[in-house]
Amino acid sequence: MNAPHTHLPRHLLTLHDLERGTLDALLVRAQAFAEGHYDRRALDGIAVCTLFFEPSTRTRMSFTLAAQRLGADVINFDASTSSTRKGETALDTLKNLEAMGVRGFVVRHHEDGAVAGLSAHVNDGTVLVNAGDGRSAHPTQGLLDMLTLRQAKGADFSKLKVLVVGDVKHSRVARSDLQALRALGTDDIRVCGPASLLPDDGTLQGCNVSHDLDAALEGVDAVMMLRLQRERMEEGLIASLDDYHRAYGLTASRLKRAAGDAVVMHPGPINRGVEITDEVADGPQSLILRQVSNGVAVRMAVLEALLRG
Contacts to ligand CP from residues 261-290, by CB under 6 A: 267-269
Question: Strands (DSSP E) along 69-175, which ranges?
Answer: 73-78, 102-109, 127-133, 161-165
Residue 206: other Cβ atoms inside 10 A: 11
- Of the pair 132, 193, the CB lying nearest ligand CP is at 132
Looking at residue 231, the DSSP 8-state letter turns out to be G
Rg of the chain over Cα atoms, rounded to whole angstroms, equals 19
| From candidates 6, 22, 31, 59, binder to ligand CP by CB under 6 A | 59
Number of residues that bind ligand CP (CB under 6 A): 10
Q: How far is the CB of 132 from ligand CP (least distance, A)?
A: 6
Instruction: Let me know: does 248 contact 192? Beta carbons within 8 Å.
Output: yes
Q: How far is the CB of 71 from ligand CP (least distance, A)?
A: 23
| From candidates 10, 16, 58, 95, binder to ligand CP by CB under 6 A | 58
Q: How far is the CB of 131 from ligand CP (least distance, A)?
A: 7
Max CA separation in the chain (angstroms): 56
Q: Is 141 in the site for ligand CP (CB under 6 A)?
A: yes
Contacts of 128 (CB under 8 A, 6+ apart): 11, 12, 13, 104, 105, 106, 107, 115, 118, 119, 122
Stretch that binds ligand CP, among 28-36, 53-61, 177-185, 207-215 (CB under 6 A): 53-61
Q: Is 57 in the site for ligand CP (CB under 6 A)?
A: yes
Residues in the chain: 309
Three-state SS at 280: helix
Q: How far is the CB of 183 from ligand CP (least distance, A)?
A: 20
Q: How far is the CB of 58 from ligand CP (least distance, A)?
A: 4
Q: How far is the CB of 292 from ligand CP (least distance, A)?
A: 8
Q: Is 56 in the site for ligand CP (CB under 6 A)?
A: yes
Contacts to ligand CP from residues 97-136, by CB under 6 A: 132
Three-point CA angle 304, 306, 309, nearest 5°: 75
What residue ranges bind ligand CP (CB under 6 A)?
Answer: 56-60, 132, 141, 267-269
